[in-house]
């Protein structure tokens, strides 16, 4: 049987916050459309840091740093991941599309594909990943503007993932394609 030893904090090779902010990034941005929970926003920042995501766009009534409830789950990632606020997610997406981004919504929809399948056959970067409100999901108007819709396969009874969990799964798949 293999032996495993837990790594110490020093052995993890963590970057200092300024190094992390300036390190190479995956050419992926995340657009949060009316995500209401500060804890979800903080968790998405933390995952974006872990997977070297370029930037997060906070749209609509999505809460913005600085706020203690965002910082509670972000653990400093609001300092290492670029972000900006946009009033309208649809306007943000149209601007990103004009700048050459493929628009990829995460939603349960007809014609959707899995994140793993997308990562294997994805168009060239850059990619904008859109995640919607915890109850309503991604707006149909945004889905209508999307190049692709990703749906995370689920096998239980609920067919519902927390938005921060869904964001982490998609960011992981896209960063593996870039870094691995």
Domain regions of the chain by residue span: 23-152+159-179
Nearest by Cα to 130 from 174, 86, 167: 167
Examine the pLDDT at 123 and tell me if it is beyond 80: no
Give me the mean pLDDT over the 110-125 stretch. 85
Question: Considering the chain, what is the average pLDDT of its residues?
Answer: 94
Per-residue pLDDT tens over the stretch 12-49: 988 999 999 999 999 999 999 999 999 999 999 999 99
Considering the domain delimited by 23-152+159-179, tell me its CATH architecture.
3-Layer(aba) Sandwich (3.40)
Is residue 126 within 8 A of residue 101, CB to CB? The reply is: yes
Q: Three-state DSSP class for 33?
A: strand
Write down the pLDDT at residue 120.
79
Q: What is the rounded distance in angstroms from the CA atom of residue 169 to the CA atom of residue 58?
A: 19
DSSP class per residue in 102-138? EEEEES--TT-B-HHHHHHHPPSSPEEEEE-BTTTBS
Instruction: Inform me whether the pLDDT recorded for 80 exceeds 80.
Output: yes
Q: How confident is the model at residue 89 (pLDDT cuts 50, 70, 90)?
A: very high
Q: Are 53 and 26 in contact, with CB atoms under 8 Å apart?
A: yes
């Amino acid at each position: 049987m293999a032996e495993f030893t837990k790594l110490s904090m020093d052995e993890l090779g963590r970057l200092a916050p300024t190094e992390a902010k300036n390190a190479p990034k995956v050419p992926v941005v995340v657009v949060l459309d009316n995500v209401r929970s500060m804890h979800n926003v903080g968790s998405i920042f933390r995952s974006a840091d872990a997977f070297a995501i370029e930037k997060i766009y906070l749209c609509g009534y999505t809460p913005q740093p600085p706020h203690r409830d965002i910082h509670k789950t972000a653990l400093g990632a609001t300092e290492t991941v670029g972000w900006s606020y946009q009033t309208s997610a649809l306007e943000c997406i149209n601007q990103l599309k004009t700048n050459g981004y493929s628009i990829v919504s995460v939603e349960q929809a007809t014609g959707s594909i899995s994140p793993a399948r997308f990562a294997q056959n994805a168009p060239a970067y850059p990619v904008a990943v859109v995640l919607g409100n915890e109850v309503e999901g991604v707006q149909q108007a945004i889905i209508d503007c999307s190049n692709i819709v990703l749906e995370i396969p689920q096998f239980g009874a609920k067919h519902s993932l927390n938005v921060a969990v869904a964001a982490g799964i998609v960011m992981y798949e896209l960063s593996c394609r870039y870094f691995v």
